[in-house]
A and B are shown apart, each in its own frame.
Chain A
């Protein structure tokens, strides 16, 4: 079946530094990818929708200058958390839309970010 890969699966960084998370669709082309964050015991919160070759669409309340999203190819989207702070510590998950016969959305394994 379709596979979406995220890297790194966990990262610890110092406050004030930037962290990049990659999301790849491994066996299909994804014109649209989504980025979510999830706090412990809470549901997924959509941060932004990433469209290949164009600017991402951010949800209300999400700082576009802090969470930089790049979707440079049909199989890769990246999320960069700039000047990370401890309150940015969270589980970040991407998903990718497979517009093939299955026409559904698959999730990556998630990336745990801890800012110390």
Chain B
């Protein structure tokens, strides 16, 4: 079993839709949870960073962590074509060693 599971998609939604991206994990030692956005042929860009269970909101993005279920989510409201990218979840037990999900390819169609 992989430490971090993420559905690679691809996921295609119409502009304006709410997007839900998810990851599950098996290592209960993970304490730090991150979402990165990666455009084609570019390095990953940090979107959201959370430490505890619960929700964290930043603009159109909401990150949700449920440690009891070992499940994290990223919601994108009012999705835009510019949101089309690969979204990687990442987690760490010491904010040093990170484990990544496979990445979900998202396309938002105008």
Q: Which residues of A contact B (CB under 8 A)?
A: 4, 6, 32, 34, 41-44, 46, 49, 91, 93, 97, 103-110, 112
Given A32-B96, A44-B88, A103-B95, A110-B41 contact (CB < 8 Å): yes
**Segment 16-46 of B: residues with Cβ below 8 Å from A:** 34, 36, 41-46
Can you report 12 residue pairs joining A to B where beta carbons are below 8 Å apart?
A: A34-B98, A41-B105, A43-B100, A43-B101, A44-B88, A46-B98, A49-B96, A103-B95, A104-B95, A105-B34, A105-B98, A107-B45
The number of chain B residues touching the other chain, given as a range, is 20 to 34
Please state if B46 and A107 are interface contacts (CB–CB under 8 Å): yes
Cα A103 to Cα B95 in complex, Å, equals: 8
Query: Looking across the interface, which residue of chain B has its beta carbon closest to that of A97?
Result: B96
Given A43-B88, A91-B41, A106-B46 contact (CB < 8 Å): yes
Contact with A along B1-20 (1 / 0, CB 8 A): 00000001000000000000
Main secondary structure of the interface of A (DSSP, over half): strand
* Chain A min CB distance to B94 (Å): 10
Please state if A112 and B41 are interface contacts (CB–CB under 8 Å): yes
Contact among A49, A104, A107 for B44, CB-based, below 8 A: A107
Residues of B within 8 A of A110 (CB): 41-43
11 further interface pairs, Cβ-Cβ under 8 Å (given A43-B101, A44-B100): A32-B96, A44-B88, A49-B97, A91-B41, A93-B44, A104-B95, A107-B45, A107-B46, A108-B43, A110-B41, A110-B42
Most buried by A among B41, B43, B96, B100: B43
